[in-house]
């Protein structure tokens, strides 16, 4: 026969700390703040232009002059940084991606405009990779069916210096070539830019969630059915991510990134636990598109699921999140 319950039942009631809004606020373990947000921006050629991205409802490409407006908006909202990605005109794409080294390319122009508009009030992050500039859509030089690692790395170092000279605060190599962090750090230091930070896409997976981003920068048609599995990580691997992060930190990375976000929360947690370094996560275009599309159809409550998704990144240990929802979230948090 079961022992009779003695005393009040139950003595521990977890719901007591949930019964009022004020107590839930007091005991909340994690919070999303505006300071956690980085806003990705797409820049296109022309003047006074806004080009909606069909596969990213609510997201647009902006001409260089209108990037200034977005940067002033970010400052007004309290967003600490933006990340700039170019939609390079098809006529400027080449096999060797030489437009990446043009000191007047879209990224360099956008960085200069951003800094003229807001100065040090806003951090500007620049992607370092060749895929927005190549006719084949790969992140590196591509010859005889293979990505040329070391030749690509040399170009990436030059690309980083050009972006730093334009005023970029954070260089973010997203290419996943071996040794590129050390090469970029060396190139920046040699050119007098030792103060420029490196945010390494240290654990970037060969994911199916990047499709809308490739539409936005115009690389989807270039890449075609080709994949990036020889340089981006296998989604099945997690120990490998720790090796990648360790190498990038050893080579001089100041910050590291896990990409994509939600399907890889376990990687975020492992990286933070192992290295205790600032770890960013990218809520990539496919994640955004899924939530936005479901919310637009009334299947999900937009505000609830977006904030919940960001809270999940913070709970996993992320220091900050790149998200296309950033300005919207900032407005919600300021209400």
Q: What is the pLDDT of residue 9?
A: 73
In 3-state terms, what secondary structure has residue 264? helix
User: Dihedrals φ, ψ of 199, to 5°?
Assistant: -105, 105
Residue 259 known to be catalytic: yes
Residue-range domains of the chain with CATH: 31-334 (3.20.20.70)
Distance CA 6, CA 289 (A): 54
- Closest to 190 measured CA to CA, from 223, 222, 154: 154
Mean pLDDT (10-residue bins), the chain, 335 residues: 65 91 94 97 95 92 96 98 96 95 97 96 97 93 93 97 98 96 98 98 94 77 78 97 98 98 97 98 95 96 98 97 98 93
Distance CA 105, CA 115 (A): 16
In 3-state terms, what secondary structure has residue 111? helix
Q: What is the pLDDT of residue 7?
A: 63
Q: Which residue has the tokens 């930190």?
A: 249
Distance CA 115, CA 168 (A): 8
Q: Which of 93, 115, 259, 314 is catalytic?
A: 259
Q: What is the pLDDT of residue 325?
A: 98
Report the alpha-carbon angle 156-161-166, nearest 5: 125
Q: What is the pLDDT of residue 215?
A: 80
Specify the pTM: 0.93
Distance CA 97, CA 146 (A): 16
Distance CA 193, CA 154 (A): 17
How remote is the C-alpha of 73 from its chain's centroid?
Answer: 19
Residue 204 known to be catalytic: yes
| Contacts of residue 59, Cβ cutoff 8 Å, sequence gap at least 6 | 42, 52, 53, 216, 288, 324
- Closest to 171 measured CA to CA, from 112, 86, 253, 246: 253
- Closest to 326 measured CA to CA, from 54, 44, 58: 58
Q: What is the pLDDT of residue 281?
A: 98
Q: Which of 93, 115, 204, 314 is catalytic?
A: 204
Q: What is the pLDDT of residue 221?
A: 66
CA atoms within a 13 Å half-sphere pointing along the CA-CB vector of 164:
24
């Amino acid at each position: 026969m079961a022992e009779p319950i003695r005393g009040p039942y139950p003595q521990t009631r977890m719901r007591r700390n949930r019964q009022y809004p004020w107590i839930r606020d007091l005991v909340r373990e994690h919070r999303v703040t505006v300071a956690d947000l980085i806003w990705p921006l797409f820049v296109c050629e022309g003047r006074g232009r806004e080009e909606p991205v069909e596969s990213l409802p609510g997201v647009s490409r902006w001409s260089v002059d209108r990037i200034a407006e977005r940067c002033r908006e970010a400052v007004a909202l309290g967003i600490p940084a933006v990340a700039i990605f170019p939609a390079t005109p098809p006529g400027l794409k080449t096999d060797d991606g030489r437009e990446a080294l043009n000191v007047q390319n879209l990224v360099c122009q956008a960085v200069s405009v951003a800094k003229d508009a807001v100065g040090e009030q806003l951090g500007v992050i620049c992607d370092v990779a060749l895929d927005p500039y190549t006719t084949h859509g790969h992140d590196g030089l591509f010859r005889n069916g293979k990505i040329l690692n070391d030749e690509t790395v040399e170009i990436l170092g030059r690309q980083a210096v050009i972006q730093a000279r334009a005023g970029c605060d954070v260089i973010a190599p997203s290419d996943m070539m071996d040794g590129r962090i050390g090469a970029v750090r060396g190139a920046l230091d040699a050119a007098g830019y030792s103060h420029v930070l490196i945010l390494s896409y240290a654990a970037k997976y060969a994911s199916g969630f990047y499709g809308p981003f490739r539409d936005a920068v115009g690389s989807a048609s270039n890449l075609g059915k080709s994949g990036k599995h020889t340089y981006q990580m296998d989604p099945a691997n997690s120990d490998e991510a720790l090796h990648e992060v360790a190498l990038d930190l050893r080579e001089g990375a100041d910050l590291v990134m896990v990409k994509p976000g939600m399907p890889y929360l376990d990687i975020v947690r492992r990286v933070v636990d192992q290295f205790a370094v600032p770890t960013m996560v990218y809520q990539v275009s496919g994640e955004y598109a899924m939530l936005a599309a479901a919310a637009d159809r009334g299947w999900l409550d937009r505000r609830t699921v977006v904030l919940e998704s960001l809270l999940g990144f913070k709970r996993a240990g992320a220091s900050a999140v790149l998200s296309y929802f950033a300005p919207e979230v900032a407005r919600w948090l300021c209400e």
